[in-house]
Structure 1
Amino acid sequence: MTVPRTDTDAFDRRPLHERIAADLRDEIMCGDLAPGASLPSTAQLKGRFDASSATVQKALQLLKDERLVVGRAGAAVTVREHRQRTMRPAAYMAPAHAGEPYRWLTEEGRNGVRARSTLLEVAEVVPPADVSAALGLPEGATALLRCQLLTLDDEPAELVASYYPTDIAHGTPIAQRRKIQGGTPALLAELGFPPRVSVDHVSARVPTQDQCVALVLPGNLPVLRTLRVVRSDGDRPIEATVMVKAGHLYELRYEFTPDRTAG
């Protein structure tokens, strides 16, 4: 898509190889370059972008580092089969049935991928300010943190940091450094705090150092950060989770039923 310019002095200040990668990345993510398709040849890209062979190769290397394309020198570069995954948050919200694994693992497994969760940390900490506000905590108050890394086909997919009020978490498996059968939604329901309403706050951000390392991210491509606040009966906040995933590899899909009484 060509965007009309409103400022005749405006121009893209990024190096040419980054601009080339950006245009190709957009074509990959929107499906113009489909999974398994070959990218235009180096000669074609040189002509399209008025670039040297070295500049085109630098652009293609960026896309390889981002896990969007595969290929080697002298061979065609192709779009990876799973260039971008769609995640449907609503499918993971309901507590799992007794004896079943966490719904995220179940739902992703149905897509034919190997889904795993690795527990990284369990600790009592002072949460970030937006998490504290979401949980209704006074300044400086602590919450119980459970941090885990979710992987798909052995590739890092999402860094998840879940925070729980200490009066709910203390003395329960939430505070123990081990996996919870069925996930915390099922456990919270057993404890008398069934999840009733979830609200997602989604933003795009430059990754932090920890996020960059955990998710094996190249450069400064944005991540999708979701702050999910879960409330139980009486509108009580029982969980606030920060989920971070690579913005160029994952998309979120939300489905809504129109309110025919509105307006």
Structure 2
Amino acid sequence: MTVPGHEGEAADHRSLHERIAADLRDEIMSGDLAPGASLPSTAQLKDRFAASNATVQKALHLLKKERLVIGRAGASVTVRDHRQRTMRPASYMAPAGSGRPYRWLTEAARSGARAHSTLVDVFEAVPPADVADALGLGKGEAAALRRQVLSIDGEPAELVASYYPLEIARGTAIAERRRIPGGTPTLLASLGYPPQLSVDRVSARVATQEQYRLLELPGDLPVLRTLRVVFSDHDRPIEATVMVKAGHLYEVQYEFTPGSD
């Protein structure tokens, strides 16, 4: 590891407009440039980064493609109102009440957003190795798979691939290509498998071709991949879900009690 200001410091080989966009993106995502705030003028950015007008405009174009700012040439550029959304996994675990929509939808609506889920397909498939391991499946053993695209305000927000052991899913609505009132947590509880514990593993990755296309990513930006394993009574894994969202638009918030294991 190199330390800034020390000999041997690694060079940043990105083009100047990419480096400018990276610094401004960080200020947007951290809140230093708040929603609705105007970015510094082109002249100010030119001075700050010792860059040409064309280079600054290329950096701003990147941020516009990433849906972080809005504006046009010759006018001020401002931070979009929903610069970054906070996802709270603990809010989604409990089954929804009778007749209530899936909790992801209701939680998104709390912030005034229009949330929508699209069921892409339902079939039996051999899951990725980490999912199979989480569910205790043997090599080559299939699971029931439900794939969805979750959207906020008409824009794709998250790709969701949920896997279920076949002995639980077969013969139930989980294995059918239709919506499940209240989501699968509600159904699993009614089947005698109430969700008791949810464990998340979050990693940053380069988007696959499919993720890039379905999330409508604007460039070579990382995605957040969450592998969530849900356990029922007696520590039995009943669901393993892979969730992928654009890393520059979403953050994940976890809450912990001091002193808890």
TM range (shorter): over 0.9
1:135-188: per-residue Cα shift (whole Å, max 9, x none)?
000000000100000011111111000000011000000000011000000000
Counterpart code for 1:172? T
1:18 maps to what in 2? Answer: 18
1-side partners of 2:259 and 2:148: how far apart?
A: 36
1:209 maps to what in 2? Answer: 209
Residue 110 of structure 1: how far off its partner (Å): 1.7
**Map of 1:1-263 to 2, 5 A cutoff?**
4-8=4-8, 10-259=10-259
Counterpart code for 1:208? T
* Number of corresponding residues: 259
Counterpart code for 1:80? R
RMSD: 1.1
Residue 109 of structure 1: how far off its partner (Å): 1.2
Runs of 4+ in 1 over 2 A off after TM superposition: 3-10
Aligned partner of residue 168 in structure 2, secondary structure: helix
Aligned partner of residue 28 in structure 1, secondary structure: helix
1-side partners of 2:56 and 2:7: how far apart?
A: 28
Aligned partner of residue 130 in structure 1, secondary structure: helix
2-side partners of 1:107 and 1:25: how far apart?
A: 26
Residue 10 of structure 1: how far off its partner (Å): 2.2
Counterpart code for 1:100? R
1:87-133: per-residue Cα shift (whole Å, max 9, x none)?
11101110011111111111111211111100001010010000000
1-side partners of 2:229 and 2:7: how far apart?
A: 41
Residue 220 of structure 1: how far off its partner (Å): 1.4
1-side partners of 2:110 and 2:13: how far apart?
A: 44
Question: What is the TM-score with the length of structure 1 in the denominator?
Answer: 0.96
1-side partners of 2:133 and 2:9: how far apart?
A: 43
Percent identity between the two aligned chains: 73
List gaps (5 residues or longer) in structure 2: none
1-side partners of 2:26 and 2:114: how far apart?
A: 27
List gaps (5 residues or longer) in structure 1: none
